[in-house]
Structures are given as structure tokens and as C-alpha cells.
Chains A and B, each alone.
Chain A
Amino acid sequence: MKMKKIFAVLLSAFLMFTSEARADIDASKAEQFIKNVTQEGIEELINSDVSEAEKKARFTKLFNSDLDLDFIGKFVLGRYWRTATPKQRDEFIDVYRKLNIQTWSERFNEFKGKHFEFLGTEKANSKANDQVYVNTQVPMQEGAPASVKWRVKDTNGKLQIVDIIIENVSLAITAQKEYTSYIQKSPNGIDGLIKDLKAKLK
């Protein structure tokens, strides 16, 4: 009887431990994930000799699978997400996704011929402990290396990027400031924003 009790206590302790461990994001896995993204996705893709169209297609695929743009889109709309209709939300996320692919397929060319160095991980504030920063730097031709921090989120075992912070400038915060400032000034609110964002697509 006693043995059974001890066993039960041990088992429940074990279960508690493992279930808690499962909720926390695994920092080393997150780092490995970013290593894959930067090596296969960015360094190899930018430096390869494939056509621009092929590059764009591969970049789009990478962006869609490795960035949680539903999550980021929600954040960048800020308090306006709450008042947006489901249709507005869908339309916004869709155009935001396309615009990001357009912006970053151009911007990542800045990393041509460069490589990422990994500097370990750092805890990111999140209630569920499901997010972590992966710290990297990119040596530049002159001066100090550029710092690039990746915020990685674990959604039911799937790792995705939720923010990229280059030289202390967060992609998500900057976009949120841009869009909330726009909506505040626009007489057409979110619909005006969606319309203007669509006009930015090439």
C-alpha cells in the first residue's frame, strides 16, 4: 500500500514536471531553428544563383512557414484589432503578409555575402513562457557588428518567428506605431489602412 502511495506521488510529481517543461519553450531548439532559417533561408538563398522569380518564391515559402504573421498582424494592429470585424481582420492579415514579403525580400539583400553569428538565447517576457530571444550578430564591413535578435514562439510544438529586432529596432513595434498612427489620422479607419496597404503592393 505504502509503495503504491509513494509511486503515485512520484508519478504525479513527474507529470507536473513534464507538463510544465512542455509549456516552456526549449531555448536550444529555438536557436537551432533560427540557425536553419538564417543558413538555409537567408544566407544560401541570397547568395545562390537562382533567378529573381525563384528567389521570391522560395522567400515567400520561408516567410509563410517560419513567421507567425497571424500573430504579428494581431499585435501590429494594436487596440484596433479588438474593434475590427472578422472580414477586416482577414483582409488586414492578408495584405500585411504580402507587404512584408515584398519589403523583406528587398531588405534581406542587405545581408548578401554576410553571415550570422550566434550569441545564445535570452528569456522573452511571455505569460506562458512560450517565447525566447535568439541573439545573433552580423559582422559588417566596418565598425561594430549589427545586432539581430529573433523572437521565437512555440505554438504547440511548432516554432515560429514573431519579431525581428535589428539594432534595437523591433519590426513589430515599428509597424504597430505606423499603423495605429495612420488609423488615428485616417477618416476611413481600418478600411482606409487596408486600402492604402493594398495600393503599396507591386
Chain B
Amino acid sequence: MNKFIKMFCLLGVLGISAPALAAEEDEGALESYNRAMFTFNSVADYYVIKPVAKGYRAVTTEFIRERVHDFFENLKEPASMINHSLQGNFSDSGNSLGRFAINSTLGLLGTFDVASGWGLTKNKTGFDKTMASWCVPDGPFIMLPFLGPSTPRATVGWAADTASDPLYWAKYYTHFGQDWERYTFYYGLTALGFVSLREENIELLDNLTANSVDPYATIKAAYIQNRLKLNACADPNADEQANSYDFDFDEDFDE
């Protein structure tokens, strides 16, 4: 529980220090750090993560990859269940609970999404979205090591969701083998989830880096715009504002 308390303290600090509700566009001094971290991530990706993801694709069939994907998606249902409740959507919360119960058992530990076939369709949410609904400011755009584009609120949300993942707790509350064996097993699983996610995005990221002259700027711009969807609480017109750029420049630009 100690970890939760720390998290909420951190949240308080971020809430006070972040001046704007939406992720800020002007990074100022943060930009050189962010760009350095982006370079670090790109190098790590090029030499280690992407080759591993491609290796994973080479040794598995699409069927296997879908099972792995469904397994990790199922582990996110408890986080969705908790956060739908925190957002006041109790029927969605029940939906997540039902999905988790059915898929964990009949769906063979979540590897098959049988609940969707029964009308319980996937509806993911997380603590980041909960905080957005509580009007917690997003803070500036930050590039995290290995995890990529984020904001302080997204980072806290990610940490909270990780703590709602059954795998996180299974490390401490299951008893088999030696401690190190158990830890190796669970950290191995976490790594597999990461590789699986990277594998799903091979083409998208290849396309992006191949066609962009400044991939950092492209990723940042796309990430910030996409996040504006979450900030509906801050401004009921946020969605509209995101795209209300002025296209009427003919007269000014052609002079």
C-alpha cells in the first residue's frame, strides 16, 4: 500500500506544478533532454528491441501472437474495472469484471477473448483517464527511457495501472520454486508483453521513421493531439479545439 501513498503524493506535486491542463507544446529546456532520450530509445530500439521483436515474429505464428496479445490484454481488465468505477461508469466496470472472469477461466487464462462473442466487448480504460476526468493537469511532454512519449499524468497512470495488473502481485503472492526462479518467470512474462507490443507496431514505426525528416517532432505532435481526446473535462470543446486550426491563410500567405 505504501506505493500507492507515494503515488498520490507524487500526483499532488505534479498537480500543483503543472501550469496547463493539456500537454504543453512548448517544451523549452525539456526539449534537449527529450531529444537525447529519444535518440537513446531509438538506438536501443535499433540494436536490441526491434531485432528481438522481429525474432519473436519469426519464431511464432500469427495465431500464437494473437494468444499472447489476448493474454496480456486480459491482465489489463482489473485496471479497467477499477477505473471505470472511479469514473462512475459502473456498468462498464461490471463489463470489465465479467470479461476478466470469463476470459481468465473459459478463455484459458485470457489467451482467448471468448467474452467478446457473448456481447461483453472490450472497453479499456486506465488511471490516466480517471485523472483526466478529475481534471488533473497533464503536464509537459516527456520522453521516458524505453517507454517512449509520455506526460507526468500519463506516467502516473501507467504506474497505477501496472500496480493493478495481477502479474505485479503474483510475484509476491505465488509460491513456487526459489525466489529467483519466480522473479525470473514474472519479469520474463513482463518482457514478453513488451516485445509483443513492439512487434505489433513494427510497420507503423518503420513507416514513420522512413518518411519523416524529424521523427521526434512527428511523434510528439501526434502524441499531444491524440491526448487531447482525454482532456474533455478541462474544456467541453477540447475535441473540437484540437482541430480548429486556421486554414484561411490564402490572403495572408499569397501576398
The chain A residues found within 8 Å of chain B, CB to CB, are: 71, 74-75, 81-82, 99, 102-103, 106-107, 110, 124-128, 131, 133, 142-144, 149, 151, 153, 162-163, 165, 167-170, 172-174, 177-179, 181-182, 185, 193, 196-197, 200
Asked whether A99 and B226 contact (CB < 8 A) given A74-B249, A131-B247, the answer is no
Neighbour of B213 across the interface among A74, A125, A127, A178, CB < 8 A: A178
Question: Apart from A174-B222, A181-B217, what are 7 other A-B pairs with CB-CB below 8 Å?
Answer: A81-B253, A99-B211, A125-B244, A127-B248, A143-B124, A168-B225, A178-B217
Neighbour of B116 across the interface among A142, A165, A177, A182, CB < 8 A: A142
Asked whether A174 and B218 contact (CB < 8 A) given A142-B113, A193-B213, the answer is yes
Which residue on chain B has the smallest CB distance to residue A179? Answer: B213
How many Å from the CB of B181 to the closest CB on chain A? 34
Interface size on B, residues (CB 8 A): 37
The B200-253 residues at the A interface (CB cut-off 8 A) are: 203-204, 207, 210-214, 216-218, 220-222, 225-226, 228-229, 239, 242-249, 252-253
User: Could you show 21 A-B contacts with beta carbons less than 8 Å apart?
Assistant: A71-B247, A99-B211, A110-B204, A124-B243, A124-B247, A125-B245, A127-B248, A143-B121, A144-B123, A149-B243, A153-B247, A163-B247, A167-B226, A168-B229, A169-B221, A169-B225, A170-B225, A177-B220, A178-B218, A179-B214, A200-B213
**Complex-state Cα separation, A167 to B243, whole angstroms:** 11
What A residues does B123 contact at CB under 8 A?
Answer: 143-144
Q: Is the CB of A165 within 8 A of B243?
A: yes
Which residue on chain A has the smallest CB distance to residue B66? Answer: A141
Asked whether A178 and B214 contact (CB < 8 A) given A74-B249, A127-B248, the answer is yes
